[in-house]
Amino acid sequence: MNKMGDDYQEKARILVGYLGGKPNIVSVTNCMTRLRTVVREESAVDEARLKSLDDVLGLVHDREGFYEIVVGPGKSRKYADGCRFLGLPSAAGAPAKEGAGQKASETDNNWKEYKEGLHSSQKSSRLKSALKLVGDIFVPLIPGIIAAGLCAGIGSLIAQAVPDHENIKAWSLVYSLLALVNQSLMTYLTAWAGYRAAERFGATPILGGMLGMITSLDGINQISRLLGMYQEASPLDSILRTGKGGVLAVIAGVFLLSAVEKKIRSRMPESLDIIATPLLSLLFCAVPYILVIMPMFGYISGAVVWVFTKLCMSGSLVVRLIAGYASAALFLPLVAAGMHHGLVALYSVQLQELGYVTLYPALAMAGAGQVGASLALWLKARRVGNRKLCSVIAGALPAGLLGVGEPLIYGVTLPLGKPFITAGLGAGFGGALVMAMQVAATTWGPSGLLGIFVMTAGPRGAAGSVLMYVAGLAVSYICSFVITGLAIDKRTLLPEAGETSDPASSEKTSLPDTARTLAGEALKPGGYHTVRHGDTIWLGGQPDRLSYTLTDPSGMHARPAGKLATLAKKYPCDITITVRGKRASAKSPIELMGLGAGQGDVLEVQAEGEEAGSAISAIKEFLRQNL
């Protein structure tokens, strides 16, 4: 393996150690920006050290036993490869060691325990758990979905740019190859979904894949005709037909399959298990799946598609504008919480029913809003000499332009608080434009500049759809830039104590306690005094202090860090927080998150200067109520 691969093997080894070591890890997978891990014992995970790693932009832990480690585009796959090199399983259905004490895991082939884990979790609502579950099913499929969608998008552009491509051998060959790649996924998307759902629910994966594939076979139409459920004049209106219910039906069917298979296996003699259990499980599930689940979820899928089509492709321009704005403006919180993958079921239903996705183009504007807001922050930070923030933004912007917004979310806007909101408000205008212009996509996944190649569906044709998508990106960039520029006071971005700043920035000079006068002004220890050229000088005195033990299971995460920094900035004194020897300014949300403070850690808060006592009292009350 090359040097880069060796580096990530070592990084993965360190990360695995902080997750409790190999025996504590059930599985490791990755999406575009996150390493998604399942652990047996949460008590063995050192969240503080995980957050302190240079590559880690954020840590999402909102379900028992599940950790999503945000490392950014490209790195997530390298970390996953490093974990596989260490022998860690990537498949969710990998066997667990005996006596591992695994909690709420899909790998112990016990759906009952997994279900109880979901219901008992105090950190997730039922809706949130459901979205996460759907996301877990589809995340491993996203690379294939992106590849197929890009092929479909490029094929659409070829068809419009070269109308007679079928008569030109070279173009016909390229177009046929692109279509073949796209069909390889779309024809049997239900089979892939069934396989993954079986892994999640604890059923035998190949049986789930077979049940999903049944959905797409023509034999369903034959059964429908025999039972009088098929309408020859209008096949799409049939009670039962090939593809009816799509992936939603598959997920429900595999859930049933997992329950049936476990029941049969628990009563089957071991000598007959490998032969009889798979056969009986499929036969017992096939009838209710085909006759009940497929028709029922067919109508549910149809209703979902109808609702979103009426909103996204409404004949009313006003409805499309409102729907587009709301979708883009509210999407970022889902991304920050790691719940955005739960929407892929809706995307896939639309793709199967309509051949394109209507909601995704508007949601893609949310990432563009992050870019615009971050550019405004970069300019303001540069003016006040905050080189550290400028460096963070510069490092995350390239990924943001390519549609991967999580580095900007976790590294810039979310820690600062208000820019996270202004980014969404600005993105809403881009979402309103693309939905008003009825832009549609051939897939989901790529956004930002990379999304250009998949935004080729919709009534305006491939070229018109792409043009309107680019216009939407520009509107999102500009509006978020302007709103953030107006809402954020550059003084809130001043570099904190210890940060690199411009030479012109003011400095604080420490003088001995014995100093009593300067430039004719009587000075007292324990206070700030403005002297020549506005310089501020602190003269001794005892700082106010506070020790507080964190009780919040999530530790010092983004939201409380942002609120605490906002509170600290209201006081003119210096306020620092120290955890395990690591110090940060209480006025910098980025530094606060960098402490990696977790449950049980002791925060040593110190304030020096004017209103120090008041600051300590306010921070004490904040910590008591929030952490």
| Positions marked active-site | 31
Distance, CA of 411 to chain centre = 14
Cα–Cα dist 38/92, whole Å: 9
Token pair listed for 405: 């917004």
Cα–Cα dist 66/523, whole Å: 56
Residue 585 to residues 65, 105, 423, 569, 593: CA-CA distances in angstroms? 32, 39, 25, 10, 11
Strand partners, 34: 70
Cα–Cα dist 625/46, whole Å: 24
Q: Collapsing DSSP states into helix, strand and coil, what is residue 207?
A: helix
**Are 507 and 535 in contact, with CB atoms under 8 Å apart?**
yes
Q: Which residues contact 426 (CB under 8 A, 6 or more apart)?
A: 369, 372, 373, 476, 478, 479, 480, 481, 482, 483, 484
From first CA to last CA, the distance across the chain in angstroms is: 44
Amino acid at 492: T
DSSP secondary structure code for residue 583 in this structure: E
Crossing angle of helices 205-216 and 270-288, rounded to 10°: 30
Cα–Cα dist 152/426, whole Å: 30
Nearest to 374 by CA among 329, 411, 403, 324: 411
Beta-carbon count within 10 A of 303 CB: 10
Amino acid at 609: G
Cα–Cα dist 453/436, whole Å: 20
**Are 149 and 443 in contact, with CB atoms under 8 Å apart?**
yes
The radius of gyration of the chain's CA atoms, rounded to the nearest angstrom, is 28
Nearest to 585 by CA among 329, 388, 425: 388
Cα–Cα dist 33/15, whole Å: 16
Cα–Cα dist 472/447, whole Å: 12
Largest interatomic CA distance in the chain:
104
What percentage of the chain's residues is helix, strand, coil (to nearest 5)?
Answer: 60, 10, 30
Cα–Cα dist 224/220, whole Å: 6
Q: Left if phi > 0, otherwise alpha if psi is -120 to 50, otherwise beta: which for 277?
A: alpha
Q: Collapsing DSSP states into helix, strand and coil, what is residue 95?
A: coil
**Are 429 and 392 in contact, with CB atoms under 8 Å apart?**
no
Cα–Cα dist 243/23, whole Å: 42
